[in-house]
Structure 1
Amino acid sequence: MTSARELYERTVAELAPAAAGNRLVELVEAGVAPREALRRIAGEEHRIIRSDRRSFALLAARFADRGRAAPFFLGLAAGEGEALGLLTPFATAVGLSPADLATYRSRPAAQTYPHYLAWLAQSGTLAETVLALLANFGFWGGYCARLAAALPRHYGLSAEATAFFAFFAALPPDFESEALALLQSALDDGESAAEARHAARLMQSYESSFWAAVLPADAPRT
Structure 2
Amino acid sequence: MNTVTDVLEAARLRIAEDVEPNRFLDVLEQGRMPKERLKRLAGELYHLVRSDRRSFALLASRFPDAPAGDLFLAMAQGEAQALELLGGFATAVGLTTEDLRTYEPQPLAQAYPAYLARAALSGTASDTALALLANVAQSTGTYTRVADALVARHGIEERALEHFRYFADTPQALLDQATATLADGLAGGDDPVAAVRCAWTVHALEAAFWNCLAHGLDTG
**TM-score, normalisation: structure 1:** 0.93
Change in Cα spacing, 1:30 to 1:17, as seen in structure 2 (3 Å) is: farther
Write out aligned runs for 1:81-100 (5 A).
81-100=80-99
Q: Does 1:19 align with 2:19?
A: yes
Mapping for residues 106-121 of structure 1, pairs under 5 Å = 106-121=105-120
What do residues 63-97 of structure 1 show as CA deviations (whole Å, max 9, x unaligned)?
013x3211111111111111111101111112222
Matched ranges for 1:120-135 at <5 A: 120-135=119-134
Q: CA deviation at 1:216?
A: 4.1
1:164-179 matches, cutoff 5 A: 164-179=163-178
Separation in 2, partners of 1:80, 1:113: 15
- Determine the C-alpha separation between the residues in 2 that align with 1:133 and 1:13: 15
* TM-score (normalised: structure 2): 0.94
Q: Which residue of 2 aligns with 1:185?
A: 184
1:17 & 1:168 partners in 2: Cα distance?
A: 24
What secondary structure is seen at the aligned counterpart in 2 of 1:8?
Answer: helix
Q: Hey, what does 1:145 align to over in structure 2?
A: 144
In the alignment, residue 168 of structure 1 is paired with which amino acid?
Answer: F
Work out the CA distance in 1 between the residues paired with 2:12 and 2:35: 31
1:80/1:158 CA distance change after superposition, 3 Å? same
Which stretches of structure 1, 4 residues or more, deviate above 4 A after TM superposition?
none
CA RMSD of aligned residues (A): 1.6
Aligned twin of 1:6: 6
* Mapped pair 1:209 → 2:208: yes
Pair 1:58 & 2:64 matched:
no
5+ residue gaps, structure 1: none
State whether residues 59 and 121 of structure 1, in contact with CA within 8 Å, keep that contact through their aligned partners in structure 2. Answer: yes
How big is the shift at 1:177?
1.7
Give ranges in structure 2 of 5+ residues lacking alignment: none
- State the aligned residue count: 220
Q: Partners of 2:182 and 2:47 in 1: how far apart?
A: 28
Do structure 1's residue 220 and structure 2's residue 218 form an aligned pair? yes
**1:44 aligned partner:** 44
